[in-house]
């Protein structure tokens, strides 16, 4: 679906061309399995959750009318026609809206942002932000940091509710589909149904590590067969039981429903909103498809199939009101019961799968924003970029889902929790959409307010109904969200405090320049890569290292790996290279930029790309005057984007490759036999990390400046001597003068999360054999 590099290409803008239409039709077909599994399985439990008190014909007609207008106003009008237009470089979801806002107004709380980030091609997506520069509302929000923090908290709360969906969707979908076994002649007990549901759920989570792509080819056909089945049954039931149900398309029945049922009618809205659960997936999964393909699939297939199914169920119930608790399975004609039961169970699994995948994606995006502890991210598909698996989150989700299934054992109670989680996410999306209308699309505040209040009124009524059910299960997503919010905010707060400490304790460049090119210590052959979160300046860890060790590497590179508020950074723009101090110091800076949906893969090529990028920078600096003048003005801050794609044709270095077999050459050249034997043991234990050995040479007969040639030769010799990775092993503690709350957050909360998440060396794919860690205590 996406090009091999994993960066989505800009979508074609002529939707009427045949090639484009056929591409969108294929994508629409694929979207059934990924996007619509959850939404299309809602008929399993909607009527059972809605019609609990009033079970007469009028109430059933009113319930169907409500379902029809809810499906029309929220998924069709709001999502298909409006929200799907607010994509971020083809990506959708809460974070896409937040990142769009952060780029068009200074709302971002990511600390190490630079002006150079605004030059990224993905950054300029959408209308130019110049026109909105004078907006007083924008200036007001940018000026008040508390409002920006509140905006981030709203986005994180939405993200936590999506995680809640990841727990509740498998529970309600699988339990509802399996409950069909209680309708058959050999009626199973609740305990047996629960056991079957739990076995299916354990199997579902256990298979996550395979990745969706392994079973994706059966996903779309399963959902399509399911949609055709429910459409046919709905049509049959309408014609067979009560064709008068078509009158309920009139909103008159909604007014009648509320006037007759009063407060009970309002409370029953908590069941009606289950008919639109899974709608947010249309927007969240936009990155794998196109807006047109999702619109086609919903408007021409999903919407009519669901409407006809709900209509058929209502027609059946109007003549058989006693069947309401098991309305879906009772309404199936007996000859086709078993095939439909099997398809329903498969469709429930597909719907659950899509939501679990979306949960992994949300956690990954939270981490990129600096709001979630480091976790292991496994890329499960070579073809579908963004299909990921997070083992820790998977097992937490499984335990929570099983606890809810066994604890509640009732789809109505789980439905109360599920409806609240879904409607909260929609409510937050409406709010963010209103901000996007003003700041990104630059429409009038009145238009945004009209959009906000119209949809907030509808969603607010549903949300208030869902909140009434907090004691009957609605507390579950609130508790889950509260726990995840605390984790996210503690991590975000601790990370920001640590960064601020680094920022205020940077090493003075005057001190470095005073030490001279040797830095007052012995410079030994090799390259030292010093990792830091600082995008400018020299981190305190460096002075700590220099003052405690008598020697350091010949070539020093300060590496900063950071996230920028765009979904993807293309390989051509990933590296920013600059120089620290004058040329004889041999000190460089490299900033590696990733988008919030980018995945940092360990392809063993980072060192070589880095060396080539620095060599390219040295050449560029000699040719282009704006870089060479940096010697006189400033020794830090001038950066150049070095494209990794053009490096292959670069004339700076000649590259020769050979397979790295046995002990690497850089270690063989070392006199230490211990180091050689260590390396060979490491290679035997880790055959999959066998690196290809790349040697660099200068091109012969090149007319090169002698100083540039000498610097490139130093770089090549340093690479041959070996590369060491230097990381700060930091302990973050609150100052003694801090408040009790701050001590609690930093010394207990943040410290606990740091000890129990993946280490930075693992997250950055640093080879353990070449790692040096420097201990430091941060008093924040």
Per-residue pLDDT of 205-214, as tens digits, reads 998 887 666 5
Q: Average pLDDT of 298-327?
A: 94
Per-residue pLDDT of 725-775, as tens digits, reads 999 888 899 999 999 999 999 999 999 999 998 888 888 888 888 888 888
588, 594, 370, 595: which is closest to 499 by C-alpha? 370
Report DSSP state, residue 321: G
Q: Average pLDDT of 616-643?
A: 67
Beta strand residue intervals within 567-690, DSSP E? 575-579, 587-594, 639-642, 654-659
Q: For the whole model, what pTM was predicted?
A: 0.86
Burial class (CB in 10 A: 0-12, 13-18, 19+), 378: middle
pLDDT class of 12 with cuts at 50, 70, 90: very low
Please name the helix (run of DSSP H) or strand (run of DSSP E) that holds residue 351, with its range, or none: helix 337-368
- Which pLDDT value is given to residue 33? 84
The C-alpha atoms of residue 647 and residue 658 are separated, in whole angstroms, by 19
The C-alpha atoms of residue 24 and residue 291 are separated, in whole angstroms, by 9
Q: Average pLDDT of 35-62?
A: 89
Per-residue pLDDT of 352-367, as tens digits, reads 988 888 888 889 889 8
301, 303, 309: which is closest to 245 by C-alpha? 309
Q: Residue 415 pairs with which residues in a beta bridge?
A: none
Please name the helix (run of DSSP H) or strand (run of DSSP E) that holds residue 7, with its range, or none: none
Please name the helix (run of DSSP H) or strand (run of DSSP E) that holds residue 558, with its range, or none: strand 551-563
pLDDT class of 313 with cuts at 50, 70, 90: very high
For the record, the structure tokens of 149 come out as: 């923090």
pLDDT class of 10 with cuts at 50, 70, 90: very low
The three-state DSSP-derived secondary structure of 113-160 is CCHHHHHCHHHHCCCCCCHHHHCHHHHHHHHCHHHHHHHHHHHHHHHH
The C-alpha atoms of residue 224 and residue 33 are separated, in whole angstroms, by 8
Number of H helices, E strands in the chain: 31, 11
The C-alpha atoms of residue 532 and residue 683 are separated, in whole angstroms, by 28
Q: Count of CB atoms within 10 A of residue 187's CB? A: 10
Q: Which long-range contacts (CB under 8 A, 24 or more apart) does 766-770 make?
A: 766/531, 766/725, 766/727, 767/689, 767/725, 768/682, 769/678, 769/679, 769/682, 770/722, 770/723, 770/724, 770/725
Are 575 and 644 a contacting pair, CB within 8 Å?
A: yes
- Which pLDDT value is given to residue 287? 81
Range of 121-125, 189-193, 372-376 with top mean pLDDT:
372-376
pLDDT class of 107 with cuts at 50, 70, 90: confident
Q: Which long-range contacts (CB under 8 A, 24 or more apart) does 127-134 make?
A: 127/440, 127/441, 127/442, 129/103, 129/104, 129/105, 129/439, 131/442, 132/104, 132/105, 132/438, 132/439, 132/442
Report DSSP state, residue 323: G
The C-alpha atoms of residue 87 and residue 100 are separated, in whole angstroms, by 8
For the chain, the average pLDDT equals 84
The C-alpha atoms of residue 415 and residue 276 are separated, in whole angstroms, by 12
Which DSSP string corresponds to 55-73? -SHHHHHHHHHHHHHHHII
Per-residue pLDDT of 532-588, as tens digits, reads 988 888 898 888 887 777 788 899 999 999 988 888 898 888 899 998 888 888 999
- Which pLDDT value is given to residue 6? 42
pLDDT class of 673 with cuts at 50, 70, 90: low
The C-alpha atoms of residue 266 and residue 295 are separated, in whole angstroms, by 31
In the block, tokens 């009957």 appear at 472
Lowest mean pLDDT among 116-130, 188-202, 218-232: 116-130
- Which pLDDT value is given to residue 358? 84
């Amino acid at each position: 679906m996406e090009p091999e590099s994993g960066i989505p290409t800009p979508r074609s803008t002529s939707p009427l061309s045949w090639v484009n239409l056929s591409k969108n039709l294929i994508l629409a077909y694929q979207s059934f399995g990924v996007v619509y599994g959850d939404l299309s399985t809602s008929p399993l439990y909607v009527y059972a959750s809605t019609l609990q008190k009033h079970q007469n014909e009028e109430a059933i007609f009113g319930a169907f009318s409500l379902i029809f207008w809810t499906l029309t106003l929220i998924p069709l009008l709001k999502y298909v026609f409006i929200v799907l237009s607010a994509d971020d470089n083809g990506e959708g979801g809460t974070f896409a809206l937040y990142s769009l806002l952060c780029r068009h107004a200074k709302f971002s709380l990511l600390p190490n942002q630079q002006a150079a980030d605004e030059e990224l091609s993905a950054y300029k997506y959408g209308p130019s932000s110049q026109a909105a520069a004078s907006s007083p509302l924008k200036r007001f929000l940018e000026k008040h940091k508390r409002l920006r923090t509140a905006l981030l908290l709203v986005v994180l709360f939405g993200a936590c509710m999506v995680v809640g969906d990841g727990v509740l969707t498998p529970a309600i979908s699988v339990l509802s589909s399996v409950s069909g076994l209680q309708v058959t002649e050999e009626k199973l007990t609740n305990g047996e149904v629960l056991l079957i549901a739990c076995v299916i759920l354990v199997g579902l989570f256990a298979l996550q590590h395979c990745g969706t792509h392994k079973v994706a080819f059966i996903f779309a056909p399963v959902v399509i067969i399911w949609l055709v089945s429910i459409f046919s049954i709905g049509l049959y039931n309408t014609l067979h039981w009560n064709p008068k149900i078509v009158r309920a398309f009139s909103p008159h029945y909604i007014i009648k429903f509320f006037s007759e049922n009063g407060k009970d009618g309002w409370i029953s809205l908590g069941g009606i909103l289950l008919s639109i659960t899974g709608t947010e997936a249309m927007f969240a999964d936009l990155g794998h498809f196109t807006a047109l393909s999702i619109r086609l699939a919903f408007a021409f297939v999903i919407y009519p199939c669901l409407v006809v199914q709900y209509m058929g169920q209502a027609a059946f119930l109007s003549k058989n009101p006693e069947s309401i608790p098991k309305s879906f399975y009772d309404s199936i004609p007996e000859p086709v019961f078993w095939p439909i039961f099997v398809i329903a169970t498969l469709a429930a699994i597909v719907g659950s799968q899509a939501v679990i995948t979306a949960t992994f994606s949300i956690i990954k995006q939270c981490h990129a924003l600096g709001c979630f502890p480091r976790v292991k991210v496994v890329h499960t598909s070579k073809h579908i970029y963004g299909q990921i698996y997070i083992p820790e989150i998977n097992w937490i989700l499984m335990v929570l889902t099983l606890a809810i299934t066994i604890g509640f054992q009732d789809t109505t109670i789980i439905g109360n929790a599920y409806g609240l989680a879904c409607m909260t996410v929609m409510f937050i999306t409406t709010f963010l959409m209103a901000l996007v209308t003003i700041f990104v699309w630059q429409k009038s505040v009145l238009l945004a307010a009209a959009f906000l209040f119209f949809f907030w009124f509808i969603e607010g009524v549903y949300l208030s109904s869902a909140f009434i059910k907090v004691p009957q299960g609605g507390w579950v997503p609130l508790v889950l969200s509260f726990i995840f919010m605390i984790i996210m905010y503690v991590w975000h707060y601790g990370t920001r405090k640590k960064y601020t400490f680094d920022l205020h304790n940077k090493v003075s460049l005057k001190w470095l320049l005073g030490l001279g090119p040797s830095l007052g210590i012995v410079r030994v052959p090799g390259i030292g890569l010093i990792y830091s979160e600082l995008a400018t300046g020299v981190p305190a860890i460096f002075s700590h290292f220099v003052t405690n060790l008598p020697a350091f590497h010949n070539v020093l590179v300060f590496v900063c790996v950071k996230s920028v508020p765009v979904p993807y950074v293309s390989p051509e723009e990933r590296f920013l290279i600059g120089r620290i101090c004058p040329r004889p110091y041999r000190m460089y800076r490299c900033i590696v930029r990733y988008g919030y949906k980018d995945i940092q893969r360990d392809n063993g090529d980072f060192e070589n790309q880095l060396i080539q990028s620095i060599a390219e920078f040295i050449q560029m600096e000699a040719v282009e005057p704006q870089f060479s003048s940096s010697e006189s003005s400033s020794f830090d801050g001038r950066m150049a984007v070095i494209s990794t794609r053009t490096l292959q044709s670069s004339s700076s270095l000649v590259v020769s490759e050979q397979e790295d077999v046995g002990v690497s050459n850089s270690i063989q050249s070392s006199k230490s036999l211990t180091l050689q034997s260590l390396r060979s043991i490491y290679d035997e234990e880790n055959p999959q990390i066998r690196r290809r050995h790349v040697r660099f040479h200068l091109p012969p007969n090149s007319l090169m400046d002698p100083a540039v040639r000498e610097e490139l030769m130093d770089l090549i010799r340093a690479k041959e001597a070996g590369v060491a990775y230097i990381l700060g092993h930091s302990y973050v503690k609150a100052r003694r003068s801090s408040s009790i709350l701050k001590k609690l957050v930093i010394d207990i909360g943040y410290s606990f999360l740091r000890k129990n998440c993946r280490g930075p060396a693992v997250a950055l794919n640093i080879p353990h054999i070449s790692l040096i860690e420097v201990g430091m205590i941060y008093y924040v």
